[in-house]
């Protein structure tokens, strides 16, 4: 493995930001191969050198992030005991990743895949209010006033809809924006009013969309975009 600066190693291992990692080094809290290091700018080989933080070995893991355009007919687990197709039948990458949240088998659209548990938890935690935008197709014309959907009381508590609008004159197709990701929440919202969701497409998640990604394909998310998400939503 190519050598890298010690502060970058500590940052990518999830210990601290590079700036904070420099502080840890200056404080004498970092060891490399059994010796305390206080020199900034030191380069190490993550595959060979043993790094400790406050006496504990730091395990390096290169985090990866992907944007995936989920097709209908696939479930979002690694394996299915009933033999159904999963998204991992389509995904061919070297790293082991997992989906951030789940989409139902028949739901299409944006998914984020990663091996970074902290980032996944950040996206899923309700307090961060990460936006999710859906296009919903119903079994019949929606005749209720749209403002009825602003707050819907479900069996696991109220859900708040940030915006909703019709997308065509049939009043069967709507766009809905939420800032939470409870299980089957969109389908349960409309079921509350006696409607069945015939098609559901997650158009965007955390500001990402898959409009330019072919169905069933994935592309890498650049680290700068991950930093943008942390900066934008950590203020909530």
Rounded CA separation 230/121 (Å) = 12
* Other C-beta atoms lying within 10 Å of the C-beta of residue 19: 9
96, pLDDT greater than 90 = no
Identify the three-state secondary structure at position 126: helix
pLDDT at res. 134? 98
Q: Which is nearest to 130 in space by CA: 140, 138, 139, 120? A: 120
pLDDT at res. 20? 85
104, 139, 211, 234: the active-site residue: 104
Rounded CA separation 204/209 (Å) = 5
60, pLDDT greater than 90 = no
**Structure-block tokens of residue 173:** 């197709």
177, pLDDT greater than 60 = yes
Give mean pLDDT, residues 171-179: 96
What are the tens digits of pLDDT across the range 105-143?
A: 999 999 999 988 878 888 998 889 999 999 999 999 999
**Structure-block tokens of residue 35:** 């010796």
Categorize the per-residue pLDDT at 1 as very low, low, confident or very high, splitting at 50, 70 and 90: low
* Other C-beta atoms lying within 10 Å of the C-beta of residue 34: 7
Categorize the per-residue pLDDT at 197 as very low, low, confident or very high, splitting at 50, 70 and 90: very high
Is residue 205 within 8 Å of residue 180, measured between CB atoms? no
Rounded CA separation 218/234 (Å) = 26
- Identify which has the larger pLDDT, 127 or 203: 203
Q: Which is nearest to 108 in space by CA: 178, 177, 182, 205? A: 205
Categorize the per-residue pLDDT at 27 as very low, low, confident or very high, splitting at 50, 70 and 90: very high
* Other C-beta atoms lying within 10 Å of the C-beta of residue 232: 13
Rounded CA separation 182/101 (Å) = 9
When the pLDDT of each residue in the chain is averaged and rounded to a whole number, the result is: 91
pTM of the full structure: 0.77
pLDDT at res. 235? 59
Catalytic residue flag (residue 116): no
53, pLDDT greater than 60 = yes
50, pLDDT greater than 60 = yes
208, pLDDT greater than 60 = yes
Question: What domains does the chain contain, in order, with CATH numbers?
Answer: 4-57 (3.10.290.10), 65-233 (3.30.2350.10)
Length of the chain: 236
Facing residues of 176 across strands? 134, 164
**Structure-block tokens of residue 183:** 């299980």
Q: Which is nearest to 189 in space by CA: 161, 166, 165? A: 161
Identify the three-state secondary structure at position 207: coil
Give mean pLDDT, residues 189-194: 96
13, pLDDT greater than 60 = yes
**Structure-block tokens of residue 194:** 């006696």
189, pLDDT greater than 90 = yes
230, pLDDT greater than 90 = no
236, pLDDT greater than 60 = no
What are the tens digits of pLDDT across the range 14-24?
A: 787 778 889 99
pLDDT at res. 32? 95
Rounded CA separation 228/115 (Å) = 18
Percent of the chain with pLDDT over 90: 67
Q: Which is nearest to 16 in space by CA: 53, 65, 44? A: 53
Q: Which is nearest to 98 in space by CA: 73, 64, 129, 126? A: 64
Facing residues of 27 across strands? none
């Amino acid at each position: 493995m190519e050598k890298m600066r010690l502060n970058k190693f500590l940052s990518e291992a999830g210990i601290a930001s590079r700036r904070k990692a420099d502080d840890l080094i200056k404080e004498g809290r970092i060891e490399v191969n059994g010796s305390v290091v206080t020199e900034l700018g030191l380069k190490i080989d993550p595959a060979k050198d043993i790094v400790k933080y406050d006496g504990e070995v730091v395990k390096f893991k290169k985090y990866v992030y992907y944007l995936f355009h989920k097709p209908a007919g696939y479930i979002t687990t690694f394996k299915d005991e009933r033999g159904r197709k999963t998204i991992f039948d389509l995904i061919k990458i070297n790293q082991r990743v997992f989906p951030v949240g789940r989409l139902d088998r028949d739901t299409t659209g944006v998914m984020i895949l990663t091996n970074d548990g902290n980032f996944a938890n950040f996206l899923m935690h309700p307090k961060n209010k990460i936006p999710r935008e859906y296009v919903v197709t119903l079994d019949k014309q929606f005749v209720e006033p749209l403002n009825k959907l602003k707050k819907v009381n479900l069996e696991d508590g109220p859900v708040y809809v940030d915006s909703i609008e019709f997308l065509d004159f049939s009043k069967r197709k709507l766009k809905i924006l939420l800032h939470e990701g409870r299980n089957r929440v969109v389908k349960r919202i409309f079921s509350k009013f006696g409607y069945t969701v015939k098609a559901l497409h997650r158009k965007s998640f955390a500001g990402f969309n898959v409009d330019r990604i072919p169905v069933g394909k994935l592309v890498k998310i650049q680290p700068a975009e991950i930093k943008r998400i942390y900066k934008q939503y950590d203020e909530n």
